[in-house]
Amino acid sequence: THFGYETVTESVKQERVAEVFTSVAESYDKMNDLMSLGVHRLWKDHFVSSLNPGATNPIGMPQRILDVAGGTGDIAFRMLQHAHVNNGNPNVHVTISDINPAMLAVGKQRSLSLPASHQSSLSFLEANAEVLPKTIADNSLDLYTVCFGIRNFSNMPAALKEAYRVLKPGGIFACMEFSKVDKYPIFNAIYKQWSFSAIPLIGQLVAGDRDSYQYLVESIERFPSQTEFRDMIAEAGFNIVGKGYEDLTGGVAAIHKGIKP
């Protein structure tokens, strides 16, 4: 049946993704810098400032944030820094959730060098974004983030439904993901050349793993366009503000947001 076929391909994808991230966990942070020439740091800084965690009215109100596919902690650590330091709000708590224990282990290790007050506002959760545990109650979160994770999910609509379930009314879904550069043909050609030639090669030379980086490049290619993905977010029930997304570096990445009504 069609359903049977889908189940098989979904579980194959999930296994492949597990292999990839178990294999890349140790080299993940270094590889991000090399593959993006450091630009991923600027995107992540921008993503977090645009969400302005910790800015509550009145000031100092608690906020609960879930960073899904949080991997080695880049987004969660920035959230805590922004909320606690920039906005002076220590009552912001972030949970890093990820399906992959190897990625979480690197994240936990890295978190040990954070200030103690940040560490005590951070938790880790091994979970599949498509079936979050019921310990994350319905309508319980202020902010749900997912960065460079959702294209790896086998069932994106299921994950969006879970995001909708756990957010409070008024809560924000925010996703940063690789996207399409179609508007700029020359830049797109250079970018494609970089992706398909340089990235697998860097993967081979630096991480000793060409196949995983080949998979990552192909998964970017298969991911829906900015408008298609926005429509999926709306389909899950979120309200879309304006055009619903912001392109970064000509669309190499894009930030999508939705608000739970």
Residue with Cβ nearer ligand SAM (100 or 226) = 100
Question: Which residues, numbered 138-197, are part of the site for ligand SAM (CB under 6 A)?
Answer: 147-149, 152-153
Q: In the bound complex, what is the minimum distance in angstroms from residue 46's beta carbon to ligand SAM?
A: 13
Would you give the end-to-end CA distance of the chain in angstroms?
36
Residue with Cβ nearer ligand SAM (1 or 113) = 113
Residue nearest to ligand SAM (CB): 71
Question: Which residues, numbered 28-57, are part of the site for ligand SAM (CB under 6 A)?
Answer: none
Task: Candidates 54, 71, 244, 258: give the one binding ligand SAM (CB under 6 A).
Answer: 71
Task: Candidates 51, 66, 75, 83: give the one binding ligand SAM (CB under 6 A).
Answer: 75
Using CB under 6 A as the binding rule, whether residue 100 contacts ligand SAM is answered as yes
Residue with Cβ nearer ligand SAM (42 or 61) = 42
Task: Candidates 31, 89, 93, 98: give the one binding ligand SAM (CB under 6 A).
Answer: 98
Task: Candidates 48, 54, 81, 130: give the one binding ligand SAM (CB under 6 A).
Answer: 130
Three-state DSSP string of the chain: CHHHHHHHHHHHHHHHHHHHHHHHHHHHHHHHHHHHCCHHHHHHHHHHHHHCCCCCCCCCCCEEEEEECCCCCHHHHHHHHHHHHHCCCCCEEEEEEECCHHHHHHHHHHHCCCCHHHHCCEEEEECCCCCCCCCCCCCCEEEEEEECCHHHCCCHHHHHHHHHHHEEEEEEEEEEEECCCCCCHHHHHHHHHHHHHHHHHHHHHHHCCHHHHHHHHHHHHHCCCHHHHHHHHHHCCCECCCCCEEEEHHHCEEEEEEECC
Task: Candidates 36, 63, 74, 82: give the one binding ligand SAM (CB under 6 A).
Answer: 74
Using CB under 6 A as the binding rule, whether residue 122 contacts ligand SAM is answered as no
Q: In the bound complex, what is the minimum distance in angstroms from residue 212's beta carbon to ligand SAM?
A: 11
User: Rule CB under 6 A: which residues touch ligand SAM?
Assistant: 17, 21, 68-71, 74-75, 98-100, 103, 128-130, 147-149, 152-153
